[in-house]
A and B are shown apart, each in its own frame.
Chain A
Amino acid sequence: MSAHPAAEKTRTSPARAPSGFPFGFSRYRNYVLFAATSVFMALGCIGLLEGLYALSKGPEAWNAWLAHMAQPFDLALSLLVLGFTLYFVVRFGWVGRKIGAGRIGPLPRPPLPLPVLGLAPLGGFVTLWLILLAILGGLL
C-alpha cells in the first residue's frame, strides 16, 4: 500500500462478498443449488451402498430394504436425489464442454474422450437410481 516499506499502512475496509451473494441473484442461487447437489448425491450413494449390502445378504434383506425405501419419506428423498443428480449432470456437462480443447505447449493434445468419460460414472449413478425407482414403482 505504500512506496516505502516503513511508511504507515493505509487503513482499508475489509473485502465485501459479491453483492447479493448467495441468494440475491439467480446466478448465485444456481451456484448454491449446484453446491447443494453434493449433499443429495452423497445421500444417494449411501442409499445405493445400503441396497448393495442388502442384496449381498439375500432376498429377505433385499425385500426389507425395498420396503424401507418405499416409505413416503424415503421415496421423496429418492426423487430429490434423482433431481439433484440430473441438475448436476446438466450443469457439469455445460461447463465441462469447455475442458477438451487444451494443449500444453509442445506436448500432444490431451485425449478428447476423457472429459466425456468423466460423465460416465454419473450416467451409471442416474441409471441405477432410475432402476431403483422403477422397482419401487412396480414397473420392474
Chain B
Amino acid sequence: MELRKVRFEVLRFRPEQDQAPVFQTYEVECMEDWVVLDALNAIKDDVDPTLSHRWSCRMGVCGSCGMLVNGRPVLTCAAFVRNYSGVIRVEPLSNFPIVRDLVVDLDGFVDKLKSVKPWIIRRIEKDLSEGEYRQSPAQLEEFKQFSMCINCALCYAACPVLANEPDFVGPAAIALGHRYNLDSRDEGNAERFAAFDSHDGVYACSYANECSQVCPKHVDPAMAIQQAKLTDFLQWAKILPKRSFT
C-alpha cells in the first residue's frame, strides 16, 4: 500500500515543563487507509513516546478520541488522513482545561451530565412483581435519537456559548436530560427543569447550532435545547402542567 509523508502539528502541554501549550511538528509516513488516530499512535509508538492522547475502541463508539483536527472537533478514529491536504493540525478539545498534550479534563463535563439527573425518576416505584414498565415502539421513537449520545464532548468543544460562559450546562447534558423528559416511563420532569431553567440552563443557548453540526452520532442537541426551551416556557405559562403525572 502506498505511503504518504504527512506533517502533523500537535499541540503539546507537559505540565512539568511547559508554562503554556506549544505546537510540535512531526512527519509521519501514513498509509492510504489511516485515520488521524493511527498517525497519533504511530507518533507515540515510533517517534515520541511522551505524546499523550486518549483513545479506545477505534470505531466511533467509545467517544474517547475527540480532538480538534484543523480546527474542527472530530473523532480522530473517523477522520481519514487522506481527506486533509497540507499540514494537519491536531489540538485538544477546546473549552476544556488541558491536563496533558491532547488529554483534557472532563470532570466539569461529567458534573454537568449529572446535574440533569440522567436516570428514570418515578414518584412511586412499581414492585418488581408487577413487571417491567412497558413502552411502545412509538414511545421509544420519541427519545431514541437523544439516547445515541456517546459523551464524546465534541459538541462542548464546538459551542461558542461555552467559550464565553463556561458554566453553561451545555448541549450533551441538556440533550441527555431531554431524553429522560421524553421517556414515557419517567416522572422527573420538574426536577430536571430546575437545572434547565437556571441562569446557565437552556436559555443561555443562542442558536449557534454548532453542536448538531459536529455530533458524530447525529443526535441533534440543538433540537433538544430548543424543545426544552419551549416546554419550559409552556410550563412557566401554565399551558403545560408541571406535575400532572399519574
Contacts and interface: CB of A to CB of B under 8 A. Distances in A.
Binding partners A and B? yes
B227 A98 contact: yes
Nearest to B70: A19
Given A92-B207, A95-B207, A105-B184, A18 B158 contact: yes
Contacts of A114: 230, 234
B181 A12 contact: no
Contacts of B230: 99-100, 102, 110, 114-115
B91 A19 contact: yes
Contacts of B142: 103
A104 interface: yes
B134 to A, nearest CB: 13
A25 to B, nearest CB: 7
Contact of A1 (B107, B189, B207): B107
B97 A15 contact: yes
Interface string B62-73: 000000100111
A15 B21 contact: no
A110 B209 contact: no
Interface string B205-220: 0111110010000001
Contacts of A98: 220, 222-223, 226-227
Q: Closest 6 CB pairs between A and B?
A: A102-B227, A19-B71, A98-B223, A12-B97, A13-B98, A11-B15
Interface of B: 13, 15, 18, 20-21, 68, 71-73, 91-92, 94-100, 105, 107, 142, 157-160, 163, 166, 178, 181-187, 189, 206-210, 213, 220, 222-223, 226-231, 234, 239-241, 244-246
29 contacts: A1-B99, A11-B15, A15-B96, A15-B97, A15-B98, A16-B94, A17-B94, A18-B159, A18-B163, A19-B91, A20-B71, A27-B213, A91-B207, A92-B207, A98-B220, A98-B226, A99-B223, A99-B229, A101-B223, A102-B230, A104-B189, A105-B182, A105-B186, A105-B245, A107-B189, A107-B240, A110-B231, A110-B239, A111-B239
